[in-house]
Structure 1
Amino acid sequence: MKTTATPSASQDRDAFEADFIYGPRRRERFAWFVAAAGVLVGVAGMVAGASLFPLKTTETFVVVVDKETGEMDRVAAVQALTLSESDAIIQANLVAYVDDRETYDLTDGEQRINSVLDRSDGDAARTLRDLWSSTNEDYPITIYGRDAKIEVVIKSVNQIERGVAQVRFTRTLRRPRDTRTVTRSYVATVGYDFQPETRQRLQDVWANPLGFVVTSYRVDA
């Protein structure tokens, strides 16, 4: 007796044969896909890890040890730079210098004048030392006394040529127990430069990071 396969049985047999023949190929392709994806993930992880290596570096620096306190102070290495001297930087340094040099107030006079001296070189440093010498006939303390104050107001800064500027300012003299004030106008001709030292203490870097220095200084009424 000849049996006829039902449509359902025939379809099942065809599906089995297709899976038997093509199933291993599909599983092989899927395995290769999974392996390739794993390799890509691994490579990405290695690249990400390698990119973090530069963040972990060893830095060597020099310190100065105070013999009395034992405290260590790091020495900064400041390389000489080709400075793009913007007007804002130049004017800010000129204003600060003239204001500190021309102000008279003994409450902070020593610290301020020493700061000006640190920013002075050549003729500018020499004239400042001469002015504040007690043997000088124009010694400020002899002329104004210890209680008077001179306030400075900067009016303008004009660049004359590279490394030379003129600063216009007023000085107002105030004396204790005297309501009267005396205000006069002046023009300071300032020769300046930027001379960053190759190595200096951090405090010096903070105070004058660009190495601004005045080399000549003349005041005219």
Structure 2
Amino acid sequence: MISRKKEETPKVKAAIQKAVNYELTIADMAKRSEKRAWQVATGAIVLSLVLAGGYFMLLPLKERTPFLVLVDPYSGNVQTSRLVSNVLDKAISGGEAVSRANVQRFVLARESYDWNTLSGRYGDWQAAYLMASPDVGLQFRQEYSLKNPESPINLYGKLKAIRVQLLSTTMTGSGRGGSTGTAIVRFQRSVLDKKTGVLSFLDNKLATLTFKYNNNLRLDDDQRIVNPLGFQVMSYKVDNDFVASPPSATTATADPDAASATLDAATSVPGTPPAGDAANPSGRESAPAAHGEAK
């Protein structure tokens, strides 16, 4: 007897279809899970590469800076300084360089002394006077007055000169835009005997000054050659710098001005620049205008 194949009932078909759909759902979920896993892994790899790149970029910024501790043998004060290896490669702006040059030029003109270069249109006296405020200029004139027994003119005359060597310059602020800058200059003074050419150590000094640029400073064309930007020192103070003293005397090459040191004393009164008086070192009527009022 031949048996017939039973026809699938609707219930059987529904059960089969449900089983097939279940298998498809499981497979689809597995594929989606695998896709998400790869996405997470790819994101983690990219993030790791970014972090590694950032670390290598910041690595050169991490350096060990040694510190130097200095003890003043006179006062016992302790000063800590950082040793920077790339000081010579430090970037400096144009304004800072100009201000530093003006500060150093003023200190050199203010503290140096040589009878042959003291006066004149572009001499040390004129340079220091044109770059000083009225108060600082008055202090300068009083120091060089013949009535002052400590005046360099009375102490050294024509046969000796003071040579200044700048040791360091520290500045805070540029003095531009109406602001006031501050500078501290360490320098060493030596006395040159023009007859023998011997350069003898005198002392170490520390100059502290404040400065600014006065756009309303009245200067003529000749004075602008000395002070083109209206640089003005508002306050100036010099103190002793307590450091170890170098040897008391050193032999230097004879000064070429030694031959002219025996100029006739009748050409000018000692203590007064030969071309003018203390108030007008250049001998010109317009020199006092160097201290025009700032408006």
- TM-score between both structures, scaled by the size of structure 2: 0.43
Please name the residue that 1:97 is paired with: 106
Deviation for aligned residue 1:198: 6.8
Q: 1:209 aligns with which of 220, 228, 242?
A: 228
Q: Which structure features the higher share of strand residues?
A: 1
Cα 1:209–1:178 change in 2 (3 A) is: closer
1:110 aligns with 2:122: no
Deviation for aligned residue 1:203: 2.3
Letter in 1 for 2:108: D
Asked whether the equivalents of residues 154 and 168 of structure 1 are also in contact (C-alpha less than 8 Å), the reply is yes
Please name the residue that 2:156 is paired with: 144
C-alpha RMSD of the superposition: 2.2
Cα 1:194–1:99 change in 2 (3 A) is: same
Cα 1:200–1:181 change in 2 (3 A) is: closer
Please name the residue that 2:201 is paired with: 182
Distance 1:196 1:219 in 2: 27
Q: 1:88 aligns with which of 76, 86, 97?
A: 97
Residue 148 of structure 2 aligns to a residue whose secondary structure is coil
Cα 1:116–1:139 change in 2 (3 A) is: same
* Aligned-residue identity in percent: 28
1:157 aligns with 2:175: no
Residue 163 of structure 2 aligns to a residue whose secondary structure is strand
Distance 2:197 2:220 in 1: 44
Letter in 2 for 1:102: E
Q: 1:167 aligns with which of 185, 193, 196?
A: 185
Deviation for aligned residue 1:152: 0.8
Please name the residue that 1:72 is paired with: none
1:179-205 CA-to-partner distances (Å, cap 9, x unmatched) read 361242111001111012376432233
Residue 216 of structure 1 aligns to a residue whose secondary structure is strand
Residue 162 of structure 2 aligns to a residue whose secondary structure is strand
Asked whether the equivalents of residues 125 and 215 of structure 1 are also in contact (C-alpha less than 8 Å), the reply is no
Letter in 2 for 1:187: L
Distance 2:200 2:112 in 1: 15
Cα 1:211–1:180 change in 2 (3 A) is: closer
Distance 1:180 1:212 in 2: 32
Asked whether the equivalents of residues 192 and 216 of structure 1 are also in contact (C-alpha less than 8 Å), the reply is yes
Residue 142 of structure 2 aligns to a residue whose secondary structure is helix
Residue 164 of structure 1 aligns to a residue whose secondary structure is strand
Please name the residue that 2:145 is paired with: 133
Runs of 5+ consecutive residues of structure 2 not aligned to the other structure: 1-92, 174-179, 241-295
Deviation for aligned residue 1:211: 0.3
- TM-score between both structures, scaled by the size of structure 1: 0.57
Deviation for aligned residue 1:131: 0.5
Please name the residue that 2:280 is paired with: none
Distance 1:116 1:152 in 2: 14
Distance 2:127 2:234 in 1: 15
> How many residues in Structure 1 have an aligned counterpart in Structure 2?
138
Report runs of 4+ in structure 1 exceeding 4 Å deviation. none
Cα 1:92–1:134 change in 2 (3 A) is: same
Asked whether the equivalents of residues 123 and 217 of structure 1 are also in contact (C-alpha less than 8 Å), the reply is no
